[in-house]
Amino acid sequence: MRRPHRIRHSLILGGIVGVVILSGILFFPASVTRVFETREVMIPRGAGVETIAGILKANGLVKSPALFVLAARALGYDRSLKAGRFTIPVGSSIYRILRQLASGMGKEDMVTIPEGLRADEIASTLFAQSKIDPVRFLALATDSTFARSLGVRARRLEGYLFPDTYPFYPLLSPEEVIRVMAGRALSVFEEEMALPDARTGLNLHELVTLASIVEAEAEMPYERPRIAAVFYNRLKRSMMLQSDPTVSYALGIYRDRVYYRDLNVKSPYNTYRVKGLPPGPICSPGRGAFHAVLFPAADTTEFYFVARGDGTHIFSKTWQEHVRAIAHVRALAKAESTVAPVGPPPERGVPVLRTGPVSGGAPSLRAMGPPAPPAEIRAAGPPAPGTHGPAEPPPRTARRANPARKDSSR
């Protein structure tokens, strides 16, 4: 009569021992290390509990993947484990690991997007720093329906991916990333446009477009308002903007030099062929560039600028002044180093833009305004009206077989 009682007693005792052992496995550290050590693991988006268990096993964080899976299901964590990069102490209990993965306490990556990047460059930066899918990112950035869903009245999100430092979790979806960046852009633009005395006359998309050109042209922040004023002056006179960065964008080939043959590319983004603003931004402008187009330099009648080679520019009111400024920059470059011709002969295409020093440390020569004419025309004066903006017709000049090398001109 006592045997059933003893069996029941043994089962209860065994169950208690099993619970104690299981509790020890689940809730107490797997091992005790003298030196605090951690492992960084990446849990991919959509990974199931079995996959996660395998990752933890491979990193030496659990001994038995099967036990981890069993515990996750028993404790109800199997469907709530998050993706991301996690730093987990070696020897953590299964329960502690489950709680950390379920809480989403992953490691954020501070991703910095510099001003002036194009959408494809932003995609590459996000992938390099936080493993965000660049292909999907670019597909969304060119999706007009998705852009409208974010409140962006444009066919693409170029220019609306605001440059800033963001705390992004690794493997965050491109949709989530773009929502954050576009939301930040619209917020900043609205703040700036609400400032007293902000310039009116252009809609938001036009402002972002012009700001992107200013961003691409300006190297020194304090010159942005002055460069913006030059473009406003040219727009007011119905002159072409003639901005080299728009040509690069139209070509889709981003190199250090833009050649004269490139200026003929047929594209609405080529401001050497099309008057007015291009159809959209050519990069992501920062707050400073956007502020500059709302508050351009006052009381300026400048239409041209040429780069000195040190990041600053010489601004000119007339074509004659601009030609002298180009000659001055050339003379400085020649005095400081030997400036050798770069690229093919003039008749095959002479470089217009050099964004970095040539051999020997010569500064770059970037000029804003119309293309520099041959030497005899430069001596004669400005070009004929309508070619490069309002100017007086030049007197009759001698003809030359080969044009002189031109530096740049916008």
- pLDDT given at position 109: 77
Mean pLDDT is lowest, of 17-31, 90-104, 109-123, for 17-31
- pLDDT given at position 332: 85
Where does the pLDDT of residue 401 fall: very low under 50, low under 70, confident under 90, or very high at 90 and above?
very low
The most confident of the ranges 76-85, 369-378, 399-408 is: 76-85
Rounded Cα–Cα distance for residues 146 and 160 (Å): 13
- Domain co-membership, 46 together with 114: no
Give the DSSP per-residue string, 23-46: HHHHHS-S---SS--EEEEEE-TT
For the chain, how many structural domains are there in total? 3
Average pLDDT over residues 341-368: 36
Is the pLDDT at 183 greater than 60, yes or no? yes
Rounded Cα–Cα distance for residues 401 and 334 (Å): 25
Among 54, 83, 103, give the residue marking a domain's end. 103
Average pLDDT over residues 62-80: 91
Where does the pLDDT of residue 265 fall: very low under 50, low under 70, confident under 90, or very high at 90 and above?
very high
Residue 370 in domain: yes
Among 57, 88, 103, give the residue marking a domain's end. 103
- Domain co-membership, 254 together with 357: yes
Rounded Cα–Cα distance for residues 323 and 304 (Å): 10
Tokens of 284: 């992501």
Rounded Cα–Cα distance for residues 400 and 174 (Å): 56
Residue 330 in domain: yes
- pLDDT given at position 11: 52
- Domain co-membership, 310 together with 164: no
The most confident of the ranges 82-96, 220-234, 251-265 is: 220-234
Residue 12 in domain: no
Among 103, 137, 170, give the residue marking a domain's end. 103
- Domain co-membership, 189 together with 138: yes
- Domain co-membership, 169 together with 54: no
- Domain co-membership, 145 together with 200: yes
More confident residue, 383 or 209: 209
- pLDDT given at position 381: 35
Mean pLDDT is lowest, of 100-114, 146-160, 358-372, for 358-372
Residue 14 in domain: no
Average pLDDT over residues 67-76: 92
Rounded Cα–Cα distance for residues 81 and 191 (Å): 39
Average pLDDT over residues 94-101: 90
- pLDDT given at position 124: 95
- Domain co-membership, 282 together with 144: yes
- pLDDT given at position 70: 93
Share of the chain above pLDDT 70, in %: 71
Residue 10 in domain: no
More confident residue, 308 or 228: 228
- Domain co-membership, 246 together with 292: no
Supply the mean pLDDT for the chain. Answer: 78
Is the pLDDT at 338 greater than 60, yes or no? no
Give the DSSP per-residue string, 7-22: HHHHHHHHHHHHHHHH
- pLDDT given at position 86: 87
The most confident of the ranges 77-81, 99-103, 139-143, 169-173 is: 139-143
Where does the pLDDT of residue 105 fall: very low under 50, low under 70, confident under 90, or very high at 90 and above?
low
Picking from 199, 228, 394, the residue whose alpha carbon sits closest to that of residue 305 is 228
Rounded Cα–Cα distance for residues 114 and 289 (Å): 13
pTM of the predicted protein model:
0.67
- Domain co-membership, 120 together with 214: yes
Residue 13 in domain: no
Is the pLDDT at 185 greater than 70, yes or no? yes
Residue 7 in domain: no
- Domain co-membership, 247 together with 157: no
- Residues 372-376: contacts with CB under 8 Å, at least 24 apart: 372/323, 372/326, 372/404, 372/406, 372/407, 372/408, 372/409, 373/403, 373/404, 373/406, 374/400, 374/403, 374/404, 375/400, 375/404, 376/400
More confident residue, 190 or 374: 190
Q: Which domain holds residue 36?
A: 21-103
- What CATH number did the domain enclosing 48 receive? 3.30.1490.480
- Domain co-membership, 234 together with 245: no
Residue 70 in domain: yes
Picking from 27, 183, 171, the residue whose alpha carbon sits closest to that of residue 111 is 171
pLDDT digit string, tens, across residues 322-335: 999 999 988 888 87
- Domain co-membership, 245 together with 141: no
- pLDDT given at position 36: 64
Share of the chain above pLDDT 90, in %: 52
How, if at all, do strands 84-89 and 38-43 pair? antiparallel
- pLDDT given at position 335: 78
